[in-house]
Structure 1
Amino acid sequence: MRRTLAIGDVHGCLEELRELLRAVDYRAGEDRLVFVGDLVDRGPDPVGVVREVRALEARGDVLAIMGNHEEKLVRWFKRVDEERTLGKKNAMTPPAPDRLAQWEAFDEEDRAWLASRPITAEAAPGWTVVHGGFESVAGAEQKPQKMLRCRWVDPETGKMIALAEGALAAPRGVVWTERWRGPSHVVYGHAVHSLESPRVDRPLPDVECWGIDTGCCFGGHLTALCLETRAITQVRAHTKYADLHGADE
């Protein structure tokens, strides 16, 4: 049986990714890999992760969508190039020195590949993959910045509650999946609901939403979900690379 294997946020955890692919017995040319975004930042080897996924893509059926960390990285590259060629001041706040060193290690091919990642796509028949989530507003256009970052929505309007506001106003906000009305199932990352297991919501009898970011970089697990069978495979993080409570977006 051909499998579609969705992989949670890797965040630079190259050795855990390799271990997970062995654990799930990934077969290039037979299985499809779907990465939910955020390959980079936080972990020890984001450049290695990007190049590993690019190599996997060259050998098999691989879909890697953009996460908010890739989007921020791509914006940084663009601003640096504009500063160099046009003398236009880079208005973005520089990242911490260790992260800046990681960013500067990406070569031009890496940067072009990262910039070409889709925001959302069909992962498998009946399944959509997105990094963050979707607003639930009838007839409204889904905006890329919101799809990358959505965690909570207003329970009445279905509109996204921003991170800072959502953190303070969680009692009046709900996880976006509770308002999702399909028609497709969704697999997503971005929000660490648990360091142990994926979050599963069934907002309608025939609609499922799977959140598979189980915080590998925070000392949790890296998770693979087979979309056809709902089988879960996990590997534990080798160590805690970042602090969950001090994490940025």
Structure 2
Amino acid sequence: MATYAIGDIQGCYEPLRRLLDLIRFDPAHDRLWVVGDLVNRGPESLMVLRYLHELGSAATVVLGNHDLYLLMVAAGVERRDKDDTLYQVLEAPDRDVLLDWLARQPLLHVEGDHAMVHAGLLPVWTITRAQELAAEVSAALTGPDARHFLLHLAGNRPDRWADNLKGWDRLRVIVNAMTRMRFCTPHGHLALRAKGPPDEAPAGTLPWFRAPDRFHRTHTIVCGHWSALGYYRGDGIIALDSGCVWGGKLTAFRLEDGEVFQVQG
């Protein structure tokens, strides 16, 4: 049995299947960890969702910002971006089944000494605290007020965490950190507009995983989201977004021994 963590798929079903062939993935014995952004930009989001849904317990998925965008569009609370590629999902006969499954995926998965999240964790959060906060979002996303939650999800404010935050502001900061963050200050102020490589950090910020005295150093963080960072291992992080949808590569990392597998997008 092996566990393979896979970077942002973003609707690139054909490279995904080539990567699974390369690693000889067997769902009867192996497991996939998928770091989020299953959909959008690539041409086959529907096929990706169907495949991962059918894998059942062989696939462990966390939500990315593009996955949440799909849920927002499907709920009618977000206008379609002219560049999105979600029409196949939104018009599929099994859309409700797939969207319900997607909404039930967590923001954070912790197992052994690894924690998987799409973007990152604020330096002031321990793993236990991050699990609690991710559970708050999951409860909102699957509860009776899910549409209202999605309606209030977009936005960059507040731009820092505080324990006394409440309501939609509280949930928005959690989601923004776990699905959108690249740079922050050592004290956890988010710089969400910055999307460049690590050496282009806005003044006063640094890549989230280089913040000193991070409380979540107890675990290695497995993540994606940051194509300008690419595949990166170090500083208590395994980053796997190697830009498949932009013509880069799709990356798999075997947790048991650290071997890396890649296919061209």
**TM-score normalized by the length of structure 2:** 0.74
Q: Is the 8 A contact 1:127 1:185 kept in 2?
A: yes
Structure 1 residues not aligned, in runs of 5+: 81-89, 203-207, 238-249
1:40-68 per-residue CA deviation (whole Å, 9 max, x = no partner) reads 001110001110111222xx521011111
Q: CA deviation at 1:134?
A: 0.8
Q: Secondary structure at the match of 1:147?
A: helix
Match of 1:212 in 2: 240
Partner of 2:103: 115
Of residues 232, 239, 244, the one that matches 1:199 is: 232
Alignment partner, residue 80 of structure 2: 94
Secondary structure of the residue that 2:85 maps to in structure 1? Answer: helix
Alignment partner of 2:119 out of 117, 124, 132: 132
Number of positions where the alignment pairs a residue of Structure 1 with one of Structure 2:
214
- CA deviations on 1:17-43 (whole Å, 9 max, x unpaired) are 000001011122221110000010011
Any runs of at least 4 consecutive aligned residues in structure 1 with deviations exceeding 4 A, and if so which? 138-142, 164-169
Q: Residue type of the partner of 2:90?
A: E
Distance 2:51 2:89 in 1: 16
| Corresponding position: 1:189 with 2:224 | yes
Instruction: Flag the 1:49–1:175 CA change in 2: closer, same or farther, 3 A.
Output: same
Cα distance in structure 2, aligned partners of 1:50 and 1:100: 11
Using the aligned pairs only, state the percent identity: 30
What amino acid maps onto 1:121 in structure 2? Answer: H
Describe the shift of the 1:125–1:165 C-alpha distance in structure 2 as closer, same or farther (beyond 3 A): closer
Alpha-carbon distance, 1:117 to partner: 1.1
Q: TM-score, normalised by structure 1?
A: 0.78
Query: SS at the partner of 1:223?
Result: strand
Tell me what 2:193 maps to: 163
Q: Tell me the SS of whatever aligns to 2:100.
A: helix
1:97–1:199 CA distance, 2 compared to 1 (3 A): closer
The RMSD of aligned alpha carbons is 2.3
